[in-house]
Amino acid sequence: MKIHTTAVHAGERKRAPKQVPVSSPIYLGASYICETTSELDRIFALEEKGYAYSRYASPTNDALEEQITALEGGAGALACASGMSALQLAIQAALIDRRKDVLYAHAIYGATMKLLHDVLEPFGIESSFIDICDLRHVEAAIADRKPGCVLMETVSNPILRVGAIDRIAELTKKAGAALIVDNTFATPLLVRPLELGANLVVHSATKYLGGHGDVLGGIIVSDQEHLETVRRLSRVAGPVLGPFESYLTLRGIKTFALRVERQCQNARCLAQWLRNHPRVENVNYLDDPAHPDRETIARLLPAGLYGGMVSFEIKGLDREGVFAFLDKLKLIVRATSLGDVHTMILYPWISSHRDVSPKQKERMGIRENLVRVSVGIEDFEDIQADFAQALEA
C-alpha cells in the first residue's frame, strides 16, 4: 500500500482479544464494517443484531441501555442526548397512534411545560394540566379530554408532590392512553414506574444516574408495546447520546444506589433541621407525617428512602433577599442541576421555572421565597453548618 493509504488504514479495525475488559470500551466509530454486504443488509433490515451506523445503535450505548433497562424493569431503553430530548421522543412515541392530546401534572418542571406549549402545540399536540395528586380530578379529566397520554413526575419538581402512579396507570390503561413518568427525582432505587403500570419512563441522566456533574444525557425506558416505536423514531430523528457520554453515565450508574442512599440520609437530616429553624417558614420533604401524599408515599416508596431533594421557604424574603442568602453560601454549590455528589441549591423563580408566569407559579405552590436543594454525599455537619451561617439574620 502507498503511504497515504497506510496512514488511513494502519492500526485500525483490529479484532478484539479473547479477554474481556473490566470496563466497557468507548466505541467512537460513526459507522461499522461488516464481513459481507448481505450481513449489512440484514442489520439494516433489523433481521440480525449488529452495528451499521451509530445513529441506529452502538456497543457503548447498548451497554448503558441494557444497564438501565435492568434497573427499571423495562423491555428496552434508548440513550438520548438530554433529558428533554428523551421526554420529547417519549411523548411522540406515546401519541403516534393515539389522540394528540396530553394531560400533564400541574406541578412539574418548567421546561417540560415549555416543551408541551412552545414546541409540540404548534405541531397540533394539545395539552392541559391537571392536579395529578387528586385521583377524582385525574379520572374526570381523562373521561372529559380522552387524552393520548398522561405525563407526570414520580416526585414533582420542586414542591415534591407524589402522585399515585399505580392507580393512575389503571385509569390510563382503561382509557387506552399511555402513561409517561419522569423518574429523575426518584431513580429506580426508590420507584420503578413500569412495574406500577407506566408505559414509558424518562430520566435526565445528567442528574442522579450520571451523578458527577460531567455528563449531559437522557434515558427512555419502555414497555414492550412502545419499544419499537421509540427505536424507529430515534433511527430517523437521531437524538442519541454520544459514546463518551454513554460511558460516563454507565460508569456513574455503578455507584448510584450507594450515592442515593447517602443523599436520602442527608436530605432527611437537613429537612428535620430546617423545620426547627426560626427563619424557615415551610419545608417540603417526603418524610413529613403531614405531607398531603403521605399514604401514596408509604405505599410506593421503600421505608426510610425519601429522596435527596428538599425545598423550603425562608421567612419574609423577596427575590433580592433570596439572592443575598444564596450568595452567603460557601460550601453549597449554586448551580442549575441536581443529583450530583455535592450539595446544590437552585432558585426556581429564576431558573427551573423562570419562564412560568407568576400566577402559574403561585398555582403550583412556587412562592418567591422558595429554594430547592439537591443534597449531596458530604458529611451532614458540614452541610448544616453552611446553611446555618447563611441563614443568620
**Cell (9 digits) for 264:** 436520602
**Does 55 qualify as catalytic in the annotation?**
yes
**Cell (9 digits) for 380:** 451532614
Instruction: Please tell me the distance from the alpha carbon of residue 133 to that of residue 118, in angstroms, as a whole number.
Output: 25
Burial (0-12, 13-18, 19+ Cβ within 10 Å), 135: middle
Task: Identify the H or E element spanning 92.
Answer: helix 83-95
Strands 280-284 and 344-346: unpaired
Do the Cβ atoms of 1 and 24 come closer than 8 Å? no
Amino acid identity, position 29: G
Strands 149-153 and 178-182: parallel
Amino acid identity, position 260: V
Catalytic residue among 104, 182, 223, 361: 182
Catalytic residue among 32, 56, 109, 208: 109
**Does 182 qualify as catalytic in the annotation?**
yes
Task: Tell me how far CA of residue 156 lies from CA of 59, 183, 195, 284, 347, in angstroms.
Answer: 34, 10, 19, 11, 15
Q: How many CA atoms lie within 13 A of 209 on its CB side?
A: 31
Amino acid identity, position 202: V
Do the Cβ atoms of 73 and 228 come closer than 8 Å? no
Do the Cβ atoms of 274 and 241 come closer than 8 Å? no
Catalytic residue among 100, 145, 161, 207: 207
**Cell (9 digits) for 123:** 405541531
Amino acid identity, position 207: K
Catalytic residue among 55, 251, 354, 367: 55
What is the biggest distance separating any 2 CA atoms in the chain, rounded to whole angstroms? 79
Paired residues of 309 in beta bridges? 374
**Does 2 qualify as catalytic in the annotation?**
no
158 cis-preceded (ω within 30 degrees of 0): yes
Do the Cβ atoms of 106 and 363 come closer than 8 Å? yes
DSSP 195: G
Residues acting as catalytic residues = 55, 109, 182, 207
